[in-house]
Amino acid sequence: MTRSIVLLILKALEGRGAERMVTTLARAYIEMNYDVHVLCLEVSEDMALDIRVKYHVVAYSAPLLDTETEQAAAYKKVAERIDDYVFNNIGTPDLILANIYKVNWIMAYSQLPNIVNVLHTALSKQFQEKLLSKPNQTIAHLKMVYGAHPCSCVSEGARQDLLELIGNNLNRTTTIYNPCDVDEIRKAAAQPLVIEQFGLTINEYLIHVGSFDTMKNHRDLLQAYAKTNQKLPLVLVGKGSLEAEMKQLAIELNISDRVKFLGFQANPYPLIAAAALLVLTSTFEGFGYVIVEAQALKVPVISTDCPFGPRELLPEKNLIPVGDINALAALINQAIDNLDEYQVPFNQQLLPNRVARQYLQFGQVHALE
């Protein structure tokens, strides 16, 4: 009997939330006896796939072209190449999950069946500048991209944002939270990591995990941390274009001796598991993956009440307004003094097999018995 095919498409296996979602779901579908394929536009080694998942690359990493018309023409050709590759090397998928805006735009021109766009962030935030400078053109473009296939959003806030922006031009929409494989995360957290090599002690540091970009808002985190009475060091895990700038800010705030920049960690979970508190300071999130990963490891979490994910994952007392540095400093102090009060149980609905079945149901695909 031929197994049903699930295909997950994304730009590259980089170390971000969308890629963690893809690798987790791919493993879940393997366990459910699907023939699982991951197709990327670029080669990256940041995230490892289950060895049972078939990995493909249809290479496309050209820089953006000057006009939307030129870019659309280029993406149509990429879509044709993807279609030909899939039909010739994979077969006819029963479910295709297209992740990330670039892939969503490309796959708007695809002739493959059973495509679902997965939106990992809020469009109004992602396209904020373009919506201000060219609102009509931008909305028309987004209607074309996201009107082509049904759309699933990783938080209800992101779905409502999508509907408010371009709702009249959409196929079906739904909210499906990102999966979190508790067993795999706890197994990864148990891997040997001598945190003493970083000058750390178990349960005696704060941690932030995220790329050094504007969205993750390290600036407010450092400014708030400088206002706390904490002796516990602040550990920053991640890489990105703003890392050097944040290192300089730590020096200017006179906290560089207490802030540790550990760079990208392929397995950050031992560091998260050993932390006293995880802090998220984003200006916006589609979901907030690291929150549920910390919950899976029974680590207390506090976060900015940013659009759109954290408020769906944490109670109000664990949240502070974006941009309120004094409130963030106060909440850090309060949480460190009362850690048990800020620990939130993991939501069992986020287990990978449950999330995988939601996508099958939304894509009108029936799981194998």
Beta strands in the chain (DSSP E): 5-10, 35-40, 54-57, 95-99, 115-119, 151-153, 173-175, 206-209, 234-237, 259-263, 277-280, 301-304, 319-320
Helix (H, G, I), strand (E, B) or coil at 240: coil
Do 238 and 211 meet the contact criterion of CB atoms below 8 Å apart?
A: yes
Give me the domains of the chain, ranges plus CATH numbers. 5-179+351-362 (3.40.50.2000), 187-347 (3.40.50.2000)
Q: How far is 93 from 114, CA to CA, in rounded Å?
A: 7
Name the token pair of 254.
Answer: 């006179």
Q: How far is 233 from 46, CA to CA, in rounded Å?
A: 27
Q: How far is 274 from 44, CA to CA, in rounded Å?
A: 28
Could you read off the pLDDT tens digit of each residue along the chain, which spans 369 residues? 578 999 999 999 987 778 989 999 999 999 999 999 999 999 987 778 999 999 999 999 898 988 999 999 999 999 999 999 999 999 999 999 999 999 999 999 999 999 999 999 889 989 999 999 999 999 999 999 999 999 999 999 999 999 999 987 788 999 999 999 999 999 999 988 878 889 999 999 999 999 999 989 999 999 999 999 889 999 999 999 999 999 999 999 999 999 999 999 888 999 999 999 999 999 988 888 899 999 999 999 999 999 888 999 999 999 999 999 999 999 999 999 999 999 999 999 999 999 999 999 998 743 333
